[in-house]
Amino acid sequence: MTAAHNNHDPHLQLWYGARKQNYQNPVAGPNLTSTTGEPGSGMKIAIQGEPGSFSHEAAMKLVNDALIAPFSLSAEVFAALVKREAEAAVIPIENSLAGSVSEHFDLLLAHEVKVERETLLRIRHNLIGISGSTVGDIDRVFSHPVALAQCRRFLADHPKMEAYSFYDTAGSVKQLVELRDHHAGAIASSAAAEYYGAEILAADIEDNPENYTRFFLVKRSPEVEQDGPANKMSLAFSVENRPGSLVQALSELSAMGTNLTKIESRPVHGKPWEYIFYVDCQIQSREEGARALEALRPHCAMVKSLGCYQEAGKNRE
C-alpha cells in the first residue's frame, strides 16, 4: 500500500530525518492544550500521538476542558498515569474496520488501572496541505499506515500521489507545516488541520464512512468512579491448559444470561501457546458484573476486571 522509502530522495530524507528526531523525544510537558491550541483548565489526560490526533479529539469529547499531555508511545502514556503525572489516559481500543489495538489490551492488564468510560468517534479522513496548496500540487502523501489503508480509493483515483507511511496522522500535519512542503499532503483529522494552521484540500476521503474508533477513558484503579450506572464490562482471564476449560468458563457467563459482545485471545509473553482472553459483555448492573467475575474464578487461572462502564450511546458522531 505504501511506497518504499527512497533514501536518495532529498525530500524524503528531510521528512524522515525530522520525524526520527521528533519521535524519539516525548512531547509531554507544558504543551497541554485543547484541539484549537488554547490551554485547557480541567483534568490532565495523557494520550499517545501528537496534538490534533484522533486520540486528542476523543479526549476532548470525554472531558471537554481537559489538559492534553501527548506522548510518543502508548507505554509512556500508561507510565505517566501510574506515576501520577496525569489524572487519566484516553486510548483507542478498537476500530470498526481495522479491529482491536492489541497493545492497549496488554497494557490495561499489566497496570493497576481500569476503564471508567468509553466513547465512539467517527473517523473522518481529510487530505491536508499547507496554505496555498491545491490537490493538483500534491505528489507525496504521508500518514499513519492504517489511515492510508482506509483511503485506498482516493489514492487510486489520484495516481500522481505516492503514499508514505508516517508515525502519526497529526504528526504528518505537524511535519507538513514545519517543512512548508507545497508538494506534500497529509491524511488526518480536521482538528489536526485546525491545530497546526493547515488547510483541508479534500474532505471525507475515507473509503468507508462507517469508520468508528472506540476509545477508553482510563484511570488508576482506586480513583475510578464506582457509583454511576454501568451496562458493560471488559475483563481478562486465562484458563488451565486442559480440555474443555474455556468452554466451562464461557458456560458460566451464559448460565447467568450475560451477553458476550466480543472475545479475542492474546499470547502470554514468555509462555508459548498460553493465552489471555479479553472479553466485553453486556451486564444489567455493576453487581451482575461482580457475580460474573466470581463465577469465572473456579475455572480460571487468572481473572481481572478491566472496568465496568456505560456503553457508548447510539449517537456516535
Would you please indicate which residues are annotated as catalytic (active-site) residues? 213, 215
Q: Report how far residue 206's alpha carbon sits from residue 235's, in angstroms, rounded to the nearest whole number.
A: 32
**C-beta separation of 308 from 286 below 8 A:** yes
- Identify any residues that bridge with 263 across adjacent strands, giving them in sequence order: 279
Closest by CA to 205, choosing from 262, 161, 166, 174, is 161
Exposure string of 232-261, with b = 16+ CB inside 10 Å and e = fewer, is: bbbbbbbbeeeeeebebbbebbeeeebeee
Closest by CA to 108, choosing from 271, 310, 280, 258, is 280
Q: Report how far residue 79's alpha carbon sits from residue 174's, in angstroms, rounded to the nearest whole number.
A: 25
Q: Report how far residue 49's alpha carbon sits from residue 62's, in angstroms, rounded to the nearest whole number.
A: 17
Q: Report how far residue 120's alpha carbon sits from residue 117's, in angstroms, rounded to the nearest whole number.
A: 11
Exposure string of 177-190, with b = 16+ CB inside 10 Å and e = fewer, is: beeebeebbbbbbb
Q: Report how far residue 68's alpha carbon sits from residue 55's, in angstroms, rounded to the nearest whole number.
A: 10
Question: Count of CB atoms within 10 A of residue 286's CB?
Answer: 18
Q: What cell does 71 get?
A: 506522548
CA angle 222, 226, 232 (to 5 degrees): 115
